[in-house]
């Protein structure tokens, strides 16, 4: 793994971390638990642009999306802030091309305005990787949901 300075390194490092994770580690990442364990495991790879909070939130989101798209979970709770106060629950849309998810529920009212509207997984990931995931998800909905 290498120091994370861009989204490609973020994704590449995630895949390496994911391969090395035990099933308990994966479950902890999906549930956004054992934060200190992941901090110790990953701290050599943080940068000023990709600090601990940003990396761990991204990895939690990647893991949650992986679980829901692999249909290991019917709904996956994705936290959008490090305090675990803001979240959305994603559901996979079967037989969609490209793979899409929809926000089933969010405690952010504006994200609940388009229930079950399909969003391509790559668009969700792009929003999550951005500086403000919530604002970019809202922008996506405003420009795509009619």
Dist. CA 68–CA 96, nearest whole Å: 14
Dist. CA 91–CA 8, nearest whole Å: 25
Is residue 108 included in any domain, yes or no?
A: yes
> Would the CA dihedral through 43, 81, 83, 49 be positive or negative?
positive
Beta bridge partners of 100: 93, 120
pLDDT at 71 over 80: no
Dist. CA 12–CA 56, nearest whole Å: 14
Digit-coded pLDDT (tens) for 17-49: 888 889 999 999 999 999 999 898 888 899 988
For residue 110, the 8-state DSSP code is G
Is residue 2 included in any domain, yes or no?
A: no
pTM of the model: 0.86
Digit-coded pLDDT (tens) for 78-128: 999 999 999 999 999 887 888 899 999 999 999 989 888 999 999 999 999
Q: How many domains does the chain have?
A: 1
pLDDT of residue 89: 93
pLDDT of residue 90: 92
Residue 95 belongs to domain spanning: 7-144
Is residue 107 included in any domain, yes or no?
A: yes
Is residue 1 included in any domain, yes or no?
A: no
Is residue 17 included in any domain, yes or no?
A: yes
The two structure tokens encoding residue 53: 């909070």
Is residue 88 included in any domain, yes or no?
A: yes
Is residue 73 included in any domain, yes or no?
A: yes
Residue 122's alpha-carbon distances to 1, 97, 102, in angstroms, are 23, 12, 12
Is residue 76 included in any domain, yes or no?
A: yes
């Amino acid at each position: 793994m290498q120091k994370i300075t861009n989204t490609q390194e973020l994704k590449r490092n995630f895949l390496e971390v994911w391969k090395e994770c035990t099933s308990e580690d994966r479950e902890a990442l999906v549930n956004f638990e054992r934060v200190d364990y992941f901090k110790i495991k990953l701290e050599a790879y943080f940068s000023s642009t990709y600090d601990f909070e940003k990396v761990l939130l991204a990895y939690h989101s990647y893991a949650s999306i992986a679980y829901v798209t692999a249909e290991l979970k019917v709904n996956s709770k994705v936290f959008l802030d490090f305090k675990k106060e803001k979240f959305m629950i994603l559901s996979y849309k079967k037989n969609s091309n490209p793979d899409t998810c929809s926000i089933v529920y969010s405690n952010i009212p504006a994200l609940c305005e388009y229930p079950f509207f399909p969003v391509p997984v790559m668009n969700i990931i792009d929003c999550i990787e951005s500086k403000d995931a919530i604002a970019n998800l809202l922008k996506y909905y405003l420009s795509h949901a009619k």
